Amino acid sequence: MNQPVVFIDGDQGTTGLQIHARLSARTDLKLLTLPDAERKDQQRRAEAINAADIAILCLPDEPARGAVDAIRNPLVRVIDASSAHRTQDGWTYGFPEMDFGQAERIAHAKRVSNPGCYPTGAIALLWPLVKAGLIPTDYPITVQAVSGYSGGGRAGVDLYEQPGSTPGPAFRLYGLGLSHKHVPEIQRHAGLSQRPFFVPAYGAFRQGIVLSIPLQLRLLPAGVSAALMHERLRSHYDGAAHVQVMSPEWAVAATHLDPEVLNNSNDLSLAVFSNEAHGQVLLTAVFDNLGKGASGAAMQNLDLMLQAMSR
């Protein structure tokens, strides 16, 4: 077959730049790009997306919806890295390890919505436990997370890296209106019946995430323990190339979590910490917000789709 054509719409943002860099040296596909002067030309963008086999959208939500609306070629397949379609019916959620058969569904989907960075960690921890009945669907979930400042896009990067600018703050808590756009995504794909509490923050480091979810054993079904939750996560991700569940022994020995330890990879590290005497458990996820949380996830989904096309 001919080389598949891949078009990146929005290849000048943090996610788009990384995807472009990853694809530019590949010989198994043809990368379609627009000259600088045409990147904002709606007609040229529409022509490019309709000429592609797979289009990767690295755009804000509204432009992403507009790009999809501009598709007239029924053969065009889409990976949308924005949050525009993550809870929309008809779109396949692009988290291959989330559930049995999800990777195969992504491989054959026409419309794939890339997960958000924070939801990737939250859903990875919650969905296997909710599905198994270890966490009730109406548990009052709180998700706390600190990301590198690149999570704020180009504006976040410029705040810390633009020459001559005042250095950004060491730590910024945000989303104080409690209406962050990731909340519906977490609720839907983690199988929760009640809206979770989400507390995001940025730190003065470029990329990486530490995400945590505290649980009270007294609010969980009888017999649920940290060991049982760990075993469920371990079995759920057994054999997953990019998700590692740390051992109970590792968790006992750990004294801190480094948000940057998996930077520049597509890996996701999950752990279960506990203090049984106090009846408390802490679920954690560490990963790169620009890797497994963005460009790495898009590349993983693209490769699944390309492999299906070559069969």
DSSP class of residue 27? S
DSSP class of residue 295? I
What is the enclosing helix (H) or strand (E) of 297?
A: helix 296-310
Beta bridge partners of 281: 215, 274
Alpha-carbon span 191 to 284, nearest angstrom = 18
> Angle at the Cα of 55 (from 51 to 58), degrees rounded to 5?
135
Could you write out the DSSP letters of every residue in 35-59? -GGGTT-HHHHHHHHHH-SEEEE-S
C-beta separation of 204 from 160 below 8 A: yes
Structure tokens at 142: 């709180």
Alpha-carbon span 203 to 169, nearest angstrom = 8
Alpha-carbon span 123 to 67, nearest angstrom = 27
CA 292 vs CA 14, 174, 196, 263: distances in Å = 14, 22, 22, 9
Alpha-carbon span 49 to 72, nearest angstrom = 9
Q: Which is nearest to 213 in space by CA: 255, 256, 271, 174?
A: 271
Q: What is the dihedral of CA 292, 295, 298, 299, to 10 degrees?
A: -90
Active site residue 58: no
Q: Residue 73 class from Cβ within 10 Å (0-12 exposed, 13-18 middle, 19+ buried)? A: exposed
Catalytic residue from among 8, 117, 190, 298: 117
Known catalytic residues? 117
